């Protein structure tokens, strides 16, 4: 099966319903991708991921390049076989992780040199090698190497960073083999709306299978991020998938879907689960709070996840307070189920041309005590 994207319906708000096909299966959009940084979504098995409703997952090029190495994964049959996940996989280029290294990295026209956070060894990623690594991993959707513009950033820095990302994007496209993998372009430009417009034009002129908004949720205030999303998403081709990288909360997802975004990834559901925070229709539930010590109810009444079907808040609190690994597993199963269910609810609302009503109900639910 080749990569393709079909836009099935656009709600009157601008929210979009679509279907994406990849060599490893199809899924509906809008979609949330659980993050499996090191070829594993923390605390859960692939079978549990599938049961939670995950249609596609994300893995990280930077981490797999360092350990165990892309050649080893390739020789063992590729990432799908290596991690026992039969569904679609998207790999990011490692640009954000390199950005996070700060002073441990040096960036120039050639690419980025950095010290491994594992052993301090000197490593280099170029646009060409980032593509080579992702081709060896065998992901269904791959990303070009880019520079994630920090926040705050002076305009001159944002301009130079954006232009470097464009030059790297062209090199990535030229380096990519015709092997069935889809390559998405990344729009940068910091928090400058005119640069976002310029970047969207440049990246779409290069031409990619899909388009992503990068460089958001990097410390900026929420209204600023929302403004960039609202004014940047419509600049991306309507016939192609639109991916918002590294975002975010359930509220973020609802806002971005309304403005035409199709794909998301974020560590929030899994990281929050390990920290004892569970997502519900009424908002966050912090399981360590004393009020749940004797609470026999599930995390959320009516939730169809394995955790809610079998365990009480009191037991989950006990596991968390005792430092038991099972607590992280059960919390993660619930949070991933919640995120997948939220995306299905939005898909249904778009299909029925009722996204505005869904949004009102979503936010009124969060206001309940």
What's the CA gap between 257 and 237, in Å, rounded?
15
Catalytic position from the list 140, 146, 262, 265: 265
Is residue 92 flagged as an active site residue?
Answer: yes
Nearest to 173 by CA among 183, 188, 165, 163: 183
**Which DSSP category does 245 fall into?**
T
**Integer Cα distance of 288 and 125 in angstroms:** 42
Q: Are 142 and 134 in contact (CB under 8 A)?
A: yes
Q: What is the rounded distance in angstroms from the CA atom of residue 331 to the CA atom of residue 42?
A: 11
Q: Residue 312: is the preceding peptide bond cis (ω within 30°)?
A: no
Cα–Cα distance between 183 and 160 in angstroms, integer? 23
Cα–chain-centroid distance for residue 66? 21
The count of other CB atoms within 10 Å of the CB of residue 40 is: 16
Cα gap 163→259, rounded to integer Å: 26
Give how far the C-alpha of residue 366 lies from the chain's centroid of Cα atoms, to the nearest Å: 23
262 is known as an active-site residue: no
CA distances from 299 to 238, 305, 313 (A): 39, 10, 6
Size (the chain), residues? 369
* Nearest alpha carbon to residue 213 among 242, 170, 172, 253: 242
**Ordered alpha helix ranges (H), 67-152:** 70-75, 79-83, 95-100, 127-137
Please name which of 129, 164, 125 lies closest in space to residue 147, comparing C-alpha atoms: 164
Q: What is the DSSP letter of 271?
A: H
Q: Which two tokens stand for residue 133?
A: 């690594």
- Count of Cβ atoms closer than 10 Å to residue 209 Cβ: 16
Residue 56 DSSP code: -
Which entry of 11, 92, 140, 262 is annotated as an active-site residue?
92
The residues that are catalytic are: 92, 265
């Amino acid at each position: 099966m080749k990569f393709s994207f079909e836009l099935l319906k656009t709600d009157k708000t601008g929210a979009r319903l679509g279907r994406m096909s990849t060599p490893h299966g199809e899924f509906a959009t809008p979609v949330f991708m659980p993050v499996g940084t090191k070829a594993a979504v923390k605390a859960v098995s692939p079978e549990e991921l599938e049961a939670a409703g995950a249609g596609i997952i994300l893995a990280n090029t930077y981490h797999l390049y360092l350990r165990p190495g892309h050649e080893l994964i390739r020789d063992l049959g590729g990432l799908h076989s290596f991690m026992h996940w039969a569904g679609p996989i998207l790999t990011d280029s490692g640009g954000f992780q390199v950005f996070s290294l700060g002073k441990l990295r040096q960036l120039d026209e050639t690419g980025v040199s950095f010290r491994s956070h594992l052993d301090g060894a000197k490593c280099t990623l170029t646009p060409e090698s980032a593509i080579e690594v992702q081709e060896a991993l065998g992901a269904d959707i791959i990303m070009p190497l880019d520079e994630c513009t920090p926040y705050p950033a002076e305009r001159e820095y944002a301009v130079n960073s954006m232009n470097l990302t464009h030059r790297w994007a062209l090199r990535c496209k030229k380096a990519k083999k015709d092997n069935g993998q889809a390559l998405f372009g990344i729009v940068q430009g910091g928090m400058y709306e005119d640069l976002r417009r310029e970047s969207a034009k440049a990246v779409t002129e290069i031409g990619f299978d899909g388009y992503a908004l990068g460089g958001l949720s990097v410390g900026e205030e929420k209204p600023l991020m929302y403004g960039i999303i609202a004014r940047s998403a419509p600049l991306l081709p309507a016939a192609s998938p639109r991916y918002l990288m590294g975002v975010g909360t359930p509220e973020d997802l609802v806002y971005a879907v309304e403005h035409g975004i199709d794909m998301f990834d974020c560590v929030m559901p899994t990281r929050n689960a390990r920290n004892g925070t569970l997502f519900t229709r009424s908002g966050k539930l912090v399981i360590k709070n004393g009020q749940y010590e004797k609470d026999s109810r599930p995390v959320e009444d009516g939730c169809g996840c394995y955790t809610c079907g079998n365990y009480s808040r009191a037991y989950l609190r006990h596991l968390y307070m005792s430092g038991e690994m099972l607590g992280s597993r059960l919390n993660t199963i619930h949070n991933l189920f919640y995120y997948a269910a939220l995306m299905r609810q939005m898909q249904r609302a778009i299909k029925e041309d009722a996204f505005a009503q869904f949004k009102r109900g979503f936010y009124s639910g969060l206001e309940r005590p």
